[in-house]
Amino acid sequence: MTTRSAAFILVLLVLTVFISITEASSSVDFVKKTVSSHSIVIFSKSYCPYCKRAKAVFKELNKKPYVIELDEREDGWKIQEALGEIVGRRTVPQVFINGKHLGGSDDTVEAYESGELAKLLGITSSHKTDL
């Protein structure tokens, strides 16, 4: 291998690392901006039964969450990795209320059933059904 070839390979490696860091950073920025721009955000996958359960809670409360369906986006896996960095979990759903991380499906249902979710949303709720 020539010195020129080695230098070229080194440049490619540096560029690859830089691009990976930049993409990860932009995905983290996307999550943070999305969460701060909407009162209710759910990072979801359209086919996931746990995601459907979390979304049903907000339907029961007549609240429309901003939903990001990760399986319907080319960058969905990058966003899922960013969620892992931000909240320590890569699983879906991940629910945010007023910029704060609520948790996943079980956390959302538990907050709903205890009345804590209604408080977080600033609404009164007559809990109707178990989800």
Q: In CATH, which of 3.20.190.10, 3.30.43.10, 3.40.30.10, 3.40.640.10 is domain 3-121?
A: 3.40.30.10
**pLDDT of amino acid 21:** 46
Question: Which range among 4-8, 23-27, 43-47 has the greatest average pLDDT?
Answer: 43-47
CB atoms within 10 A of CB 80: 22
Reduce the DSSP state of residue 3 to 3 states and report it: helix
**pLDDT of amino acid 10:** 63
Asked if 92 and 81 count as a contact pair (C-beta separation under 8 A), the reply is no
- Domain ranges across the chain: 3-121
For the chain, give the mean pLDDT.
87
Model confidence pTM above 0.75: yes
pLDDT beyond 90 at 131: no
pLDDT beyond 60 at 44: yes
Q: If you average pLDDT over residues 35-41, what whole number do you get?
A: 97
Q: How do residues 57-110 score in pLDDT, each as one tens digit? A: 999 999 999 999 999 999 999 999 999 999 999 999 999 999 999 999 999 999
CA 83 – CA 71 distance, rounded (Å)? 14
